[in-house]
Structure 1
Amino acid sequence: MNYLLQIVLILLVGKVCSELSSRIGLPPVMGELITGILIGPAVFHLLTPTTFIHYFSNIGVIMLMFIAGLEGDLRQLLHYWAPSLTVATLGVIFPTGTAYLLCHDVFNFDVQTAAFMGLVLSATSVSITVQVLREMGYSNTRESQIILGAAVADDIICIILLGISVQLVGQHSASSLSGKVLSMVVPQILFFIIVLLIGHYIVPRFLQIFDKMGISESLPTAALIICFGFAWIAVKCGMSDVLGAYCAGLAISQTKYEEALAPKIEPIGYAIFTPVFFISIGLEVTFHGIGNDVLFIICLIIIAVLGKQLGCGIGAKLFHLNWKEANIVGAGMVSRGEMALVVIKVALSAGLIDQSYFTALILVTVITTLLAPLLLKIFIQRNVNSQNNERRLD
């Protein structure tokens, strides 16, 4: 199929499915995933993954993470750094550890595959959570702030772990494990030093120079140069390009240009590149042999929900929240969404997981993302009812 017709088909069907998804109360990204499944080999076989779609989707995921960093609030993260980091860390350890034990000890997966199954379940996306918090008037609570801070920390932890894992698996020399780790850690430390220095000293001045230019849209161009430049630096230092893009967004978010750039950059990403990324995930799905994995998928879903709920809830409880409030934090971190899809895609491309497990992980991601808002609403309502009863008694 001609590449122009591929774009037409992807964007047209993608937007229709996203609209239908939104109308029935589901996140639009689910519509894009379904689009890929419908037009791909799994159902109608209108499209198959191509080199053209691959490069388009790579730009899409870079843009997605750049926008996430651009919308980040570093000051808020620093204010709640202790509970947020604790919640994020336990929210990674619990699902990753339990998924590893399940896959390795129960289903007899090899160590590499079991570890990456766990890593996929460690990812969190709070785009849906934020919407639920807004709908229920719960956006300005302590629980809400901890969830948002923990989500940022969770993304960073997850991306760093993914980058380290890709490097470890990609090493084929006979060097010792300590040598491998050292060869990775040094460039990655160098990456953060470079990013910190560039972000603090160069990014604001670079944006200022482009802002003074008389040509059209020079400021968004500067932002994209920074985005892809940071992504390139990350790759050269052995890190994931999505981490570089995320750091670029965070660097720009600390400048005076953040408010002007966000409305300019988001349409570029969300209009074409990011939808292609999510639809490309669906194109990779096949249902061949899925009937043999039903028990495995059910077990992963249980671990995915309980791992985040318990891990993040316990982390919140350590900072003097009551159990009702801690459960809200846990439920707010259950949703996997786009971050899990990023991890799945990178892991598959790097050969870290087998194609036969790809569909199972996609289904786990979709189902947990759908369960998350329901759990969050239940726990918020319970806490609100409890507070109302206490007021009546007083």
Structure 2
Amino acid sequence: MGIVLGPSCFGLISNNVPILQSLSSIGVIVLLFLSGMEIDFSLFKPKSKNPTELQQKTNAKASKYSPVRLAIYGYISIIILSFLLGGLTVVTGLFSDIWLASILFMTVSLGVVIAALKERNTLGTAFGQTILLISALGEIVPILGLTIYASIFGTDSKSLWLTLIIFAVAALLLINFRNFFHNLEEVNKSTTQIDIRLAFFIIALLSIIAVSVGSEAVLGAFVGGMVYKLLQPSESTKDKLDSIGYGFFIPIFFIMSGVGLDLKKILADPKALVLIPVILASYLLAKSMLYPIFRLRFNKRNSLAGTALPMATITMVLAILSVANNMKVITSQQSGAFLLAAIITCIVGPLIFNQLFTPDADIYQNIKVHIFGVNIMTVPVAQQLQKSWYDVNIYTDNQKNYEAFNSETNVTFLKSLDSKYLIQ
């Protein structure tokens, strides 16, 4: 839309309108806040040191390559390849900043990944969790990298250690508001909308602090999103924030990004024309080593699908380019080339994923369901579950029920249904 309305086509919108620039700046901050809210912190939880006997049995059957382990291996490979490809762009003379190029190449669009995984109902599987964690790192690491980059190369940068103030304030917010949503259940929110007010208070506070310490507002917003997620807001609150963000502020940011993309100048610049396919290839190649890592646990087709999906990147690219443009460390043609290539990845990545992904047993491993007690209620439930990815076993200690229903489903006769007997 922005490309069509901007100077590339009809020229109806200028990139110099103050109110649109202000709304666009708010849009990128809200976008990073909502991106921070998409981080699934349960993925980072270590295994219990004192697991129950049932958990011990489950862990014994699990693959030694857990989603966390695969994701860490995978993202380390992305970082290494990103720096190699960034160095290659500098050596060839296509781009002069290895640090900025590397940060851009290691980004992943978490929102695009979540949407694709939800569509294929794989979000809760080990496969989906691996991709999700890689994508989460693909937003966390670049935003931290951008902060370091801006602190070192920014014209008004301050000491890098001052950035720790952002995290200190975030920790204080988390402590002070840890029971906020629990107490909110007792408040009539129909007119106060206090949960939404808290969200924008956190956005404003951490963004202002980030700018004050010489960092970028996007870092404060992203950290604010993570804090708000840890406060465990309700689904209705998340929906309202999505409506405000994606319904108003964020579209303005996307439109203004398109307005700033002058295709006529980019296409008239031979160096930019060469840069676009090089950057696109770099976005894709930076994630190429994910394939052998996925192969440690998944089949070939799904490993290729899992490699393709994290290639999609747009959210962090827009945020990083916005900061880079403000720092004046990148030309408009170079910025446009990075953005155009990122847009293409958002088409190519999910398309390849959907073409290659197959719902095999290595993805949807049969979920074991144990039903205790056989009667006219439990048997139909077991029969329905068996039609999906469920391995259902029904247990009874009643001989008559066993004889009556054993022919209809998988019924196991036990001497007793006592818990101590079952654990043994």
Contact 2:74 2:134 (C-alpha < 8 Å) held by counterparts: yes
In the alignment, which of 61, 64, 77 is matched to residue 28 of structure 2? 61
Q: Give the unaligned 5+ runs of structure 1.
A: 1-34, 174-179, 389-394
Note if 1:115 corresponds to 2:99.
yes
Task: Return closer, same or farther for 1:70/1:299 CA change in 2, 3 Å cut-off.
Answer: closer
**Helix, strand or coil: the match of 1:336?**
coil
Contact 2:298 2:362 (C-alpha < 8 Å) held by counterparts: no
In the alignment, which of 197, 200, 224 is matched to residue 200 of structure 2? 224
Deviation at 1:306, TM superposition (A): 1.8
TM-score (norm 1): 0.77
The 2-side partners of 1:170 and 1:142 are apart by 41
Deviation at 1:254, TM superposition (A): 2.4
Contact 1:156 1:243 (C-alpha < 8 Å) held by counterparts: no
TM-score (norm 2): 0.72
Contact 2:266 2:273 (C-alpha < 8 Å) held by counterparts: no
How many residues end up aligned between the 2 structures?
Answer: 338
**Helix, strand or coil: the match of 1:204?**
coil
Match of 2:285? 306
Moved more, 322-331 or 346-355: 322-331
More helix by share: 1
The 2-side partners of 1:237 and 1:316 are apart by 40
In the alignment, which of 186, 199, 202 is matched to residue 176 of structure 2? 202
Contact 2:35 2:111 (C-alpha < 8 Å) held by counterparts: no
Match of 1:103? 89
Contact 2:208 2:217 (C-alpha < 8 Å) held by counterparts: yes
**Helix, strand or coil: the match of 2:9?**
coil
Match of 1:138? 122
Q: Give the unaligned 5+ runs of structure 2.
A: 47-66, 365-424
Contact 2:156 2:214 (C-alpha < 8 Å) held by counterparts: no
Deviation at 1:130, TM superposition (A): 3.0
Identity %: 22
Contact 1:66 1:227 (C-alpha < 8 Å) held by counterparts: yes
Moved more, 84-93 or 37-46: 84-93
Matches within 5 A, 1:204-353: 204-205=178-179, 212=187, 215-286=191-262, 287-291=264-268, 292=270, 293-310=272-289, 312-316=290-294, 320-321=297-298, 324-353=301-330
Match of 2:400? none
Task: Return closer, same or farther for 1:239/1:83 CA change in 2, 3 Å cut-off.
Answer: farther
In the alignment, which of 128, 131, 135 is matched to residue 147 of structure 1? 131
**Helix, strand or coil: the match of 1:44?**
coil
Q: Please, what is the CA RMSD of the aligned residues?
A: 2.9
Match of 1:376? 353
In the alignment, which of 334, 342, 345 is matched to residue 365 of structure 1? 342
Task: Return closer, same or farther for 1:109/1:138 CA change in 2, 3 Å cut-off.
Answer: closer
**Helix, strand or coil: the match of 1:309?**
coil
Deviation at 1:143, TM superposition (A): 1.7
Contact 1:120 1:340 (C-alpha < 8 Å) held by counterparts: yes
Contact 2:113 2:135 (C-alpha < 8 Å) held by counterparts: no
Q: Relative contact order (alpha carbons < 8 A, sep ≥ 6): 1 or 2 greater? A: 1
Moved more, 348-357 or 133-142: 133-142
**Helix, strand or coil: the match of 1:46?**
coil
